[in-house]
Structure 1
């Protein structure tokens, strides 16, 4: 027997979508929702009963059926959502959009957009509805509400008389403020060479700007003179005494021994000074000398031992960021940890310390991989559950 024969839910649907209804029969609509929630009939049968009325030839029936299925989506939970997000509904929806009355099509498009923005937005099990919505947009369907006025894209367009009046009032207030702030005064007003009033101008005079620039230039020139005099003072030579031996590594450096006197000619740099002695003239480190000419000199430093800078710079580069999980290194580290001495008598090997550091920098990648595997596990469990439910439903229908 057909499900539309003596099913009481079909009678409720027919009542809620009666073509004689002038307005929505919300009492019957809510009774349909309560009937589905009470699980007196399987959601699939309820869904098909409503779908039958959506494809009705009378526009009033179809519009009320769209309102009814929207109410069921809002009130009947996930089980009804799964029936809507099915290939059967997608097929009927496309037929409706192609052949139905224009008012029915507009109502259905607004309902479909509302579902995609709310109930069907973020659930992957219901993705068929958002997918349909995206495909229809690509095909050129317009889902904007025709009852709402479209705002112009040009920001200079005035869309209402009230807005135009507000703009005029704002301009009048602005002009009053300008007149009040630039009002005529007996002492403050003057006229420039072009006959324009200075008080009515919102821009600075050129003469004033030039005078201001000249005064700034004069003021800024004073520190330069001060700096020049300071440089002259720093160029006055003075004597220092070497604390350590220094052997020149470059042609422009000065060699000296601990205890020797050096004449400093330039001390502007904090680290390297310039001076001369009986060996010549050049640069030397400032912390190798002292201005105290009577300072005692360490005997160890003066007994033929000298300090020399090594130009063979040794740079230790930081290791690059780890981008892959290397299982062999993790296995090797676990083996070394198993063989390590827990008492601390035997020190850990360099290989163990190096592998421990490398594996520690893999921790973020390991966490991300575990999260990915967890998501796959959840998806597989969900697919298994859905497959089991589908098989049960298939066996039930074939009984």
Structure 2
């Protein structure tokens, strides 16, 4: 367990380094995978990202928000239940109030607006909508909801399935035949049946990742 946490922290440090010039999407995807596979508990992951957000360096804070955004879009209810709480909403609201960096403030407002729209029909995450309503009453201006973010409301990433054989060709997994997950449908496949790759903007994945044959054809229609 300690090794897995150390690995997660190493990846998070890498993804949020103030020396970066742009988001490290391969590393961000690895972070999401660790959470989805159950290698790192969502509570631990969200707490670690929270520490990065508290950094006085605006680059670290911005990259931490991008990691958080991808985790929310790509890890489903595992992360939603940690982020969509009154306590976490208060943290983000306080960040908007206290940050001196306009880009960090705007990114938090963007995320809050997106999540409020995405969870508008989920009573469990009522705290998100309540926080946005309170901040609007306080005079905060929220950005226009982007089309890709609006898609997220209906298209949250599927939970990862497990199995002893490929979902498509039924070959058994073993030492030689490794299992792979399709990032689009969550099913498990052999390497040959999941050899395609493409971007999945609706899940916050803007770099090409592994998908199965059927999902590849669906995405590229």
Q: TM-score, normalised by structure 1?
A: 0.34
**Mind listing any 5+ residue stretches in structure 1 that lack a counterpart?**
146-399
Aligned to 2:183: none
RMSD: 1.7
Distance of 1:109 and 1:132 partners within structure 2: 11
Distance of 2:116 and 2:89 partners within structure 1: 14
How big is the shift at 1:91?
2.7
Distance of 2:44 and 2:92 partners within structure 1: 18
Aligned to 2:192: none
Distance of 1:19 and 1:36 partners within structure 2: 23
Relative to 1, partners in 2 of residues 1:7 and 1:88: Cα closer, same or farther, differing over 3 Å? farther
Aligned to 2:86: 87
Aligned to 2:44: 45
Q: Which has the larger radius of gyration?
A: 1
How big is the shift at 1:74?
0.4
How big is the shift at 1:129?
0.7
Aligned to 1:109: 109
**Which aligned runs of 4 or more in structure 1 are off by greater than 4 angstroms?**
none
> Structure 2 matches for 1:274-293, cutoff 5 A?
none
Deviations 1:306-338 (A, max 9, x none): xxxxxxxxxxxxxxxxxxxxxxxxxxxxxxxxx
Q: Is the 8 A contact 1:55 1:92 kept in 2?
A: no
Q: Is the 8 A contact 2:93 2:131 kept in 1?
A: no
Q: Is the 8 A contact 2:15 2:67 kept in 1?
A: yes
How big is the shift at 1:94?
2.2
> Structure 2 matches for 1:78-157, cutoff 5 A?
78-100=77-99, 101-118=101-118, 120-145=119-144
Deviations 1:276-330 (A, max 9, x none): xxxxxxxxxxxxxxxxxxxxxxxxxxxxxxxxxxxxxxxxxxxxxxxxxxxxxxx
How big is the shift at 1:70?
0.6
Segment drifting more, 22-31 vs 83-92: 83-92
**Mind listing any 5+ residue stretches in structure 2 that lack a counterpart?**
145-221
Q: Is 2:22 the counterpart of 1:14?
A: no
Q: TM-score, normalised by structure 2?
A: 0.61
Aligned to 1:54: 53
Q: Which has the higher contact order (CA 8 A, sep 6+)?
A: 2
How big is the shift at 1:78?
0.6
